[in-house]
Amino acid sequence: MSLTTFQPGGNVGTAIIKELLKDTNNNTPLTITALTRPTSPYTPPPNTPITHRTVDYTSPASLVSAFTGQDAVVNCVTGSATQFSSSKLIIDAAVAAGVKVFFANEFVSHMESEQYRRLPEAYVGAKVRIRGYLTELGGEGKIGWMSLNGGPFLDMCESSGRVYSMRCWTGLGSC
């Protein structure tokens, strides 16, 4: 299995990669491509199956090239990339490259609650619209998707060793 991860050096990205590297299923070797912006200081851990590539997060051609041949994309980007246009660009590139599963960068509270949906997009990002777009693409059979909803301070809980629960959402049934 091959997967690409964005922002592998952040709290959530580091935790996800750490868990992926624990996978002992030798029948299906795991290869990880860590994508960062050219300005990132990220260096993969030594002696791991991680390939590091820098890409232009705003270039569809650069993203499609990075995603080609990958089974999954794990999006751990935060900040401005949680806005709709930048997230849609990444998702569309994954679809164009034939990626099977997209792991969305939700990492927030229960998005289906009315209270969350009422929050201003400027405050919480476009996560509700992004989920709607992924649901639409999944319903069309273009890509499976999932997300982790562990609360608004997931990265802080992870770095302190607190336990959180995972939920999987997909427009295609199981991934």
Instruction: Please give the average per-residue pLDDT across 80-88, as a whole number.
Output: 78
Tell me the average pLDDT across 97-101.
97
pTM confidence score: 0.81
Residue 166 within any structural domain of the chain: no
Q: Supply the DSSP symbol for 70.
A: -
Q: Cα(161)–Cα(169) distance, rounded to whole angstroms?
A: 24
CATH classification at residue 121: 3.40.50.720
Question: Are 9 and 36 contacting, i.e. CB atoms less than 8 angstroms apart?
Answer: yes
Q: Which domain holds residue 120?
A: 2-160
Task: Give the total number of structural domains in the chain.
Answer: 1
Is 167 contained in some domain?
no
Among residues of the chain, what percentage have pLDDT more than 90? 38
The label of the residue with tokens 């590139």 reads: 93
